[in-house]
């Protein structure tokens, strides 16, 4: 295992503020269901992915759990992330939702449990339940998703633990620099969702030029940009060639000048701009 001060590699692990560790790349699974999900997870684990991101609303926790068991890979090598849905927020309902995810996944512990979306008036009670789940050993790390710095401030002021992770949309086209700084200052690790812009911006001219110059695909440039910014990426793919291509980002580096060019693609100054 390497630590985050060395050259990034598939074995690099980022140390979270609670002492637990996660890789720089994981697999997003929104929209992958049924048999195709089972096959995709097995393929991804075989390629080397060790972080899987799901949520109850993706309706694939059972297939993911089954593929994890059938893969033959030690359970403690795989980081499984799932989330409490908005509909389940609140103290008792969060506890219940976690037990339901544990049952569907068929695991004794969830490695990273996130609040999927903030919900006014229910954030603090939900966070208290997350803390309780962690103290019972049912989840290892707790975090949030789609939280602005103001919402994070509310959680921090409540006196509970600092979230280990904030999972937010991030790629060169959408990057909330102020939020990234807030998270860094408070040792909250950012996981970038939709790191490939859901596929929408892969043909953008500047991105294509840089991809051509490195002999890499636009998707690889986007993912590499994120890990060089210190983010964990969770690209979704159910296509074998893409799964391999997305994992193959550790043998090149984007030079500073090109990182700066990619930064100019950013269209938001704050997450609040595009909400």
Ligand X SMILES: NC(=O)c1ccc[n+]([C@@H]2O[C@H](COP(=O)([O-])OP(=O)(O)OC[C@H]3O[C@@H](n4cnc5c(N)ncnc54)[C@H](OP(=O)(O)O)[C@@H]3O)[C@@H](O)[C@H]2O)c1
x-marked contacts with ligand X along 4-43 as a string, rule CB under 6 A: ------------------------xxx-------------
Neighbours of 151 (CB within 10 A): 17
What whole-number distance in Å separates Cα of residue 243 and Cα of residue 48? 10
* CB of 144 vs ligand X, minimal distance in Å: 9
* CB of 5 vs ligand X, minimal distance in Å: 27
Contact flag: residue 146 with ligand X (CB under 6 A):
yes
Contact flag: residue 239 with ligand X (CB under 6 A):
yes
Write phi, then psi, for 95 (nearest 5 degrees).
Answer: -60, -45
Provide the angle, in degrees to the nearest 10, between the axes of the packed helices 34-47 and 240-247: 30
Per CB under 6 A, which region of 100-108, 118-126, 230-238, 252-260 contacts ligand X? 230-238
Contact flag: residue 199 with ligand X (CB under 6 A):
yes
Contact flag: residue 106 with ligand X (CB under 6 A):
no
* CB of 66 vs ligand X, minimal distance in Å: 18
Given the complex with ligand X, which of 193 and 256 has the nearer CB atom?
Answer: 193
Confirm whether 58 is a catalytic residue.
yes
Binding residue for ligand X, selected from 197, 216, 224, 225, defined by CB under 6 A:
197
What whole-number distance in Å separates Cα of residue 29 and Cα of residue 14? 21
Per CB under 6 A, which region of 88-96, 132-140, 206-214, 228-236 contacts ligand X? 228-236
Which CA distances in Å does 41 have to 140, 194, 240? Answer: 22, 18, 11
Contact flag: residue 224 with ligand X (CB under 6 A):
no
Contact flag: residue 53 with ligand X (CB under 6 A):
yes
Judge contact between 236 and 265, C-beta under 8 A.
Answer: no
- In residues, how long is the chain? 275
Active site residues: 58
The site for ligand X (CB under 6 A) is made up of 28-30, 53, 116, 145-146, 167, 193-199, 202, 217, 219, 234-239, 242, 245-246
């Amino acid at each position: 295992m390497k630590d985050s001060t060395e050259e990034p590699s598939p074995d690099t692990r980022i140390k979270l503020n609670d002492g637990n560790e996660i890789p720089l790349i994981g697999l997003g699974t929104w929209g992958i269901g049924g048999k195709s999900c089972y096959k995709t997870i097995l393929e991804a684990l075989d390629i080397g992915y060790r972080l899987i991101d799901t949520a109850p609303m993706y309706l694939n926790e059972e297939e993911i759990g089954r593929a994890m068991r059938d893969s033959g890979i030690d359970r403690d090598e795989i980081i499984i992330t799932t989330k409490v849905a908005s509909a389940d927020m609140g103290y008792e309902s969060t506890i219940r939702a976690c037990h339901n995810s544990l049952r569907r996944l068929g695991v004794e512990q969830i490695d990273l449990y996130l609040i999927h979306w903030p919900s006014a008036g229910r954030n603090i009670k939900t966070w208290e339940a997350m803390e309780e789940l962690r103290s019972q050993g049912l989840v290892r790390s707790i975090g949030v998703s789609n939280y602005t710095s103001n919402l994070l401030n509310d959680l921090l002021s409540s006196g509970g633990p600092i979230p280990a992770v904030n999972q937010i949309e991030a790629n060169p086209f959408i990057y909330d620099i102020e939020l990234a700084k807030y998270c860094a200052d408070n040792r909250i690790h950012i996981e970038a969702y939709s790191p490939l812009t859901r596929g929408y911006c892969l043909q953008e001219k500047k991105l294509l030029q840089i991809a051509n110059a490195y002999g890499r695909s636009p998707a690889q440039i986007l993912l590499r940009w994120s890990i060089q910014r210190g983010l964990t990426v969770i690209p979704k793919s159910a296509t074998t060639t893409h799964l391999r291509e997305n994992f193959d980002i550790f043998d090149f580096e984007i030079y500073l000048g090109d990182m700066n060019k990619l930064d100019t693609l950013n269209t938001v100054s704050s997450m609040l701009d595009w909400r």
